[in-house]
Amino acid sequence: MLRNVQSIDETPKSQSTIDRIHSHTTYAALDLGTNSCRMLIAQPMGSGFQVIDSFSRTVSLGAGLEFTGRLSEASMKRTIRALKVCNKKLERNNVTSLRFVATEACRRARNAGEFVEKIRAETGLSLNIIGPEEEARLAVMSCAPLVSEDTEQLLVVDIGGGSTELVWIDLQSVPKGSRQESLMSLHVDVETHVASEGRPTVVDWISVPSGVATLRDQFQDVDDDKAQYALMSCFFEENLENFVPYTYAPERAKFQIVGTSGTITTLAASYLNLERYDRNQVDGLNISSEIVDNIISTYLEMGPKGRRLDPRIGEERHTLIMPGCAILHTLMRLWPTDILSVADRGLRESLLYSQMLGEGELHIAQAS
């Protein structure tokens, strides 16, 4: 199995190492989602990159959006405060290339244009609101190194705060040694699902306008915990009816789901019983459908109070974990698999890769 073919070094750096690093080209990727604002600052290193600084903060940009169709003044102020911190880090690290993207909350908000101007005026940063197709492409790119050589049918899942991207890819005609490279350069285009020898085929892709924050908000008036979970699961499945593989049953042993989200990494941390989160143990971990079922059942038995007190879930995520589980559990019920690969990587990583590859700073390592 290809695991971490493109290295991401996140170990703390000594001051002398940082001084040496800063003598080279420095890239940054900033992902503004419905719930979180996250940034990585890095430099190319072989076929991967070395992280030299990072930022992550819950800003709840999409709070109330489900009901008003607008970003609230409070949400925008919280986000701009976070972006000012990011801007200081960009200046301190002499960043020369930056991609700053926003996703579902800004795609849906009627006042997104006003927000973009506020950001530019108050921070000097230029925000690019990307479409769901680009978001899906970046999800595939970030997860490519975790695809098994034995996989013939692949489902890439990116569960966000405001939307969930699914990309179904047929890999049967792709040589094992070139799968990562071909997935890294894949274009997600619903109009060109034409199989070609040696290339992956996008069977279908979909951006469901339901993520962990939006599902939580939609069903917050349901008091019974298990009933709320069941309703979220049913609602999400209804949104999959137009997804071409909805009624497709692949051969379980040759089907793989690669998932990137806080929900999936939290499930992995619970499976490993980690007292303190460790990315090196979580990223690339394979867990089965049965294990996922057992963990989710445990979460449901805990109830809201138990989940809030569980250190593997945490105070910040306890209201979001069950909406995320409802999404993932629905997918794994429809398409059971022996391989759910956990990806602790996402838009920031793929944005960095795309910048570095575009400027010829990286080469993609191929499997032997």
List Cβ neighbours of 367 (8 Å cut-off, separation of 6 or more): 2, 5, 149, 176, 177, 178, 179, 180
Answer with the residue of higher pLDDT: 335 or 182: 335
Cα–Cα distance between 291 and 330 in angstroms, integer?
Answer: 14
Query: Which one, of 36, 35, 45, lies nearest residue 10 by Cα?
Result: 45
Mean per-residue pLDDT, 92-101: 95
Residue 28: Cβ within 10 Å count: 26
Mind listing the pLDDT tens digit for each residue in 193-224?
555 667 899 999 999 999 999 999 999 999 99
Cα–Cα distance between 50 and 72 in angstroms, integer?
Answer: 36
Query: Which one, of 300, 301, 293, lies nearest residue 328 by Cα?
Result: 293
Among 56-65, 264-273, 355-364, which is the least confidently predicted range? 355-364
Exposure string for 312-332, b = 16+ CB within 10 A, e = fewer: bbbeebbbbbbbbbbbbbbbb
What's the pTM? 0.86
Mean per-residue pLDDT, 346-365: 84
Asked if residue 128 has pLDDT above 90, the reply is yes
Question: Which of 116-120, 196-200, 364-368 has the highest average model confidence (pLDDT)?
Answer: 116-120
pLDDT number for residue 115? 97
The tokens 């894949």 sit on which residue?
186
Answer with the residue of higher pLDDT: 365 or 183: 183
Asked if residue 19 has pLDDT above 60, the reply is no
pLDDT number for residue 194? 55
Among 15-29, 40-54, 122-136, 216-230, which is the least confidently predicted range? 15-29
pLDDT number for residue 7? 44
- Cβ-contact 361, 25 below 8 angstroms: yes
Strands 128-129, 97-102: pairing is parallel
pLDDT number for residue 102? 96
For the chain, the average pLDDT equals: 88
pLDDT number for residue 12? 46
pLDDT number for residue 187? 75
Cα–Cα distance between 26 and 93 in angstroms, integer?
Answer: 8
pLDDT number for residue 16? 46
Among 74-78, 312-316, 318-322, 349-353, which is the least confidently predicted range? 312-316
